[in-house]
Amino acid sequence: MKTAILLITLAVLVADQVCEGVKFGPICCGRTENTILHCADEACRNYKTIRNTGNGFDKGMDILCCDGATVKAPIDVTIKNVSRPYGNGNAIDNGLLLEGEGLCFNLFYIKPIKVSGTAKKGEIIGSMLPMQTVHPGIPTHLHVLMCDKSDPTQYV
Ligand SMILES: *[C@@H]1O[C@H](CO)[C@@H](O)[C@H](O)[C@H]1NC(C)=O
């Protein structure tokens, strides 16, 4: 009996290590919290309502932003590299690959200030690219894509 309880406790402890409690700070546009876009349009989506657009980065989440706005590190991060959502060089084809607090994720559609080193939560890491010039009319947003394509809802 004691062994069973011990094993269950261990299992719970291990399961809890999935970056329990990591919470993104506000990322964009001087907002005090992150606003997730929940709507049917495929340019404006969250992880659960995503349609398979076949573009290879359809699993992710959109966070409301403003063209040209400063973008802050959501958590303490190491900046691993630039990361391009399309690879076609259009005006919003830029982003960062970030790691920190056990998470690995991309932030797309931003112009980075730096592409290596570290940034503290809340530190400015870039600015929002001009999404309105590429997709006029849709809400300007950042795209969060976890490296393992998992659902980022619990962190955002
Ligand atoms: C960084 O990203 C660029 C562009 O996507 C890529 O060519 C390069 O191999 C990457 N560097 C590393 C160290 O992964």
> What digits encode the pLDDT tens for the residues 123-139?
999 999 999 999 888 88
C-alpha of 145 from chain center: 5
User: Is any atom of ligand 1 closer than 6 Å to the C-beta of 116?
Assistant: no
41 C-alpha vs ligand 1 centroid, how far in Å? 31
CB 134 within 8 A of CB 128: no
Fill in the amino acid letter for 34: N
How far away, in angstroms, is 81 Cα from ligand 1 center? 6
CB 121 within 8 A of CB 73: yes
The pTM of this model reads 0.80
User: Who has greater pLDDT, 80 or 31?
Assistant: 80
- Of all protein residues, the one whose alpha carbon is nearest to atom 8 of ligand 1 is 81
Distance (angstroms) between ligand 1 centre and the Cα of 96 equals 11
pLDDT value at residue 54: 45
What is the pLDDT of the chain when averaged over all its residues?
Answer: 82
Beta carbon of 81 within 6 Å of any ligand 1 atom: yes
Give 55-105 pLDDT, tens digit per residue: 445 578 889 999 999 999 999 999 999 999 999 999 999 999 999 999 999
**Distance, CA 42 to ligand 1 centroid (Å)?**
28
